[in-house]
Amino acid sequence: MKRKKITAAVLFAVSGILLIGFTVKTCIDGANYARSENGAPFMLRIAVNALCFAAPSAVAAGAALFTLRKTRALGIFSAALWALSLLSIIVTMLNYENAASGFVDGLLCALPFSLTAIVDTVLAVISRRRSSKTEV
């Protein structure tokens, strides 16, 4: 029991460090970003940072909840990630005049969150099946 708590604490710590890294890297990129020098939109840099930092952070948090067997919390966390994926697609589409390019950029921005939501949903399903087998 104590081993699970230590493992979960380490995973939550890793998750927090990765979120701090995401915030710092995005702020540094924002300060150094010049639209005239860079043809890529800033949203693309945020999506890359999310893929490198925020997605592994959410997977680590999901793994910590899986380790602690917090099935309901993991399900809520997965639902929140799915909602964040949809919200990032909608917000990105609203920022563009052309709906097609906005949808493509929205998919790029939502990709890290949707991949993470898939992983955390699988963990939640496994956790539910494991808890239902132990109750029987």
Residue 92 pLDDT level (bands cut at 50, 70, 90): confident
Query: For residue 136, with 0-12 CB atoms within 10 Å meaning exposed, 13-18 middle and 19 or more buried, which class applies?
Result: exposed
The CA distances from residue 89 to 72, 109, 120, 124, 133, in Å, are 26, 7, 20, 24, 38
Quickly list DSSP for 85-96.
Answer: HHHHHHHHHHT-
Structure tokens at 55: 């997605």
Rounded to the nearest 10 degrees, the angle between the axes of helix 71-94 and helix 55-67 is: 160
Average pLDDT, the chain: 84
Give me the residue spans of the domains in the chain: 2-135
Taking residues 71-98, report their average pLDDT.
84
Residue 133 pLDDT level (bands cut at 50, 70, 90): low
pTM of the model: 0.78
Query: For residue 61, with 0-12 CB atoms within 10 Å meaning exposed, 13-18 middle and 19 or more buried, which class applies?
Result: buried
